[in-house]
Amino acid sequence: MLAIVCPGQGSQAPGFLQPWMEVPGFADHLRSLSEAADSDLVAHGTTSDAETIKDTAVAQPLIVGAGLATLRVLTDGAPIGDSAGVLAGHSVGEITAAAAAGVLSETDALAFVRERGRGMARAAAAKRTGMYAVLGGSEDDVLAVLAEHELTPANRNCAGQIVAAGTLEQLATLQDNPPAKARVIPLQVAGAFHTMHMAGAVDGLRTEAEKLSPQDPQVTLLSNRDGAAVDSGNEFVDRLVTQVAGPVRWDTTMQTMLDLGVTGLIELSPAGTLVGLAKRGMRGVAAVALKTPDDLDAARELIREHAG
């Protein structure tokens, strides 16, 4: 069985879409997605600098647009079930996965992520917060230290990698007093995503969600909340709304993929992060990071070998 996974915020880099602009139809597709997102995804994916695309309101539509545009190239527009049996996305990548699974139209997905990015940017600006990766140490020790400092384990990515989120003062204390055998590394993000600090973004996103007409997914679609497969489009959209202020459980999402029998995995652009996690948490699963068009042959071979 093949899984297609969609990366989250922080995976973008300046110029990462430049190689894709030579693929016939790619630029036109990205321009149409730009209209729905009210953001120039072509410029942000090719010429915008690192500071510009770090902005939450820019980064989130860019990542979703890039994923959907590279997916169309990968599949030649064929039904998703011809390629993948499972879809999942990390954080904002869940919106990419929802559109790929047919829960949302591409236009609705980009409008929804536009409001998500803007709402989370406003929430992040309200208070000085951030996120630090905690690498190593035992899970129990790490979680105990985070609780001691009143920090949230906002992303539980895999064994040995938990992302702590909270105020900058709380994070500074964590950095001065890390868990045993662990390293603490600041992340270049604008705020404490997937925590109570994002509660202000939830109401606005719920209002946006009321405009949508979700369909049930065409393939197995996994949720970051708990790694569970969700077969209702309405429920998945509700989870997209509440997930803004709730932790990401990519560890359990990977375990569900293994339990379902996933043997191959493709990560859409901007790719690399989730394939890296899969190498640790899904050992033995063949994986391709679709970074540039040069990776298409390997990805399509993986589809031929593992689809179905």
Task: Please identify every residue annotated as catalytic.
Answer: 91, 194
Cis peptide before 270 (omega within 30 of 0): yes
What 3-state class would DSSP assign to 133? Answer: strand
What span, in angstroms and rounded, lies between the C-alpha atoms of 210 and 51?
A: 33
Taking the C-alpha atoms of residue 125 and residue 191, their distance in angstroms, rounded to an integer, is: 8
Per-residue tokens: 17: 């879409």
Tokens 């409008």 sit on residue: 111
Sign of CA dihedral 109, 115, 117, 123: negative
How far is residue 13's CA from residue 283's CA, in Å, rounded to a whole number? 27
Q: Are 230 and 236 in contact (CB under 8 A)?
A: yes
